[in-house]
Amino acid sequence: MSNPVFLCPDLSGGQVVLDGPEGRHAALVRRIRVGEVVDLVDGVGTRCTGPVVATTRETITVALAERVVETAPTPRITLVQALAKGDRGELAVELATEMGVDVVVPWSAARCVVSWSGDRGAKALGRWRSTAREAGKQSRRAWLPVVTELASTGEVAALDGMLLVLHEQASVPLSGLDFVGDSVGDIVLVVGPEGGIAPEELALLGGTAVRLGALVLRTSTAGAAAVAVVSAQTGRW
């Protein structure tokens, strides 16, 4: 069984006191005890493993016995996820993180049912980032995905990489694309909202329209499925 993972931005030195929300989660929720072995990650590739040598009600102290710097996965996969109603956007982020996505870009598509603005938008973005962080730890990841600021269609079109737009009427299967070779670079997967991608948006985005298969998936699950296909095709898995 793999070790539980906790986020710790500063992994310098031979011993770390994990406090704050992570320390409380470890001590109160997970009930980590002295002698248990845990992993601490900084979210950008460093993983330290070691035993817990002391605890309080809200902290654990870990002796860093092993340190590994993991190489970032390649090619980098970015998921452009249209805003969705209810908690479907957060579910999309959670599932894509578990599949290994590297970057999530919230997208304000024309047919989105909800919009992010002011305090509401800031809180929604915070929930997406918290979801990515927690799903990354649950998946035992040393590299946690970055959730960017809200993007417009024009900003999505300007992203670097092979841009692939998931569309139910596309004739090109995602699984049939050739991802072999150094020229592929980053891969950008675009998932539309519940109402679909408007024709004018599809034209502005450019890239290649692709389909996952004969079934139409929800916006909350399509991204994770696409990340899984690309991960298998590129050798990330």
Residue 214 maps to which CATH number? 3.40.1280.10
Number of domains comprising the chain: 2
Final residue belonging to a domain, choices 48, 69, 90: 69
Q: Say yes or no: 30 and 143 in one domain.
A: no
- Report the chain's mean pLDDT, rounded to a whole number: 94
Check which CATH number belongs to the domain holding 41 and give it: 2.40.240.20
Q: Which of 69, 90, 106 is the last residue before a domain boundary? A: 69
- Low-confidence residues of the chain: pLDDT under 70: 180-184
**Co-location of 122 and 46 in the same domain:** no
- pLDDT tens-place string over residues 156-194: 999 999 999 999 889 999 998 988 655 568 999 999 998
pTM over 0.95: no
Q: What is the pLDDT of residue 1?
A: 72
Q: Do residues 60 and 121 share a domain? A: no
| Together in a domain, 126 and 215 | yes
Same domain, 136 and 91: yes
Same domain flag for 62 and 118: no
Strands 103-107 and 77-82: parallel
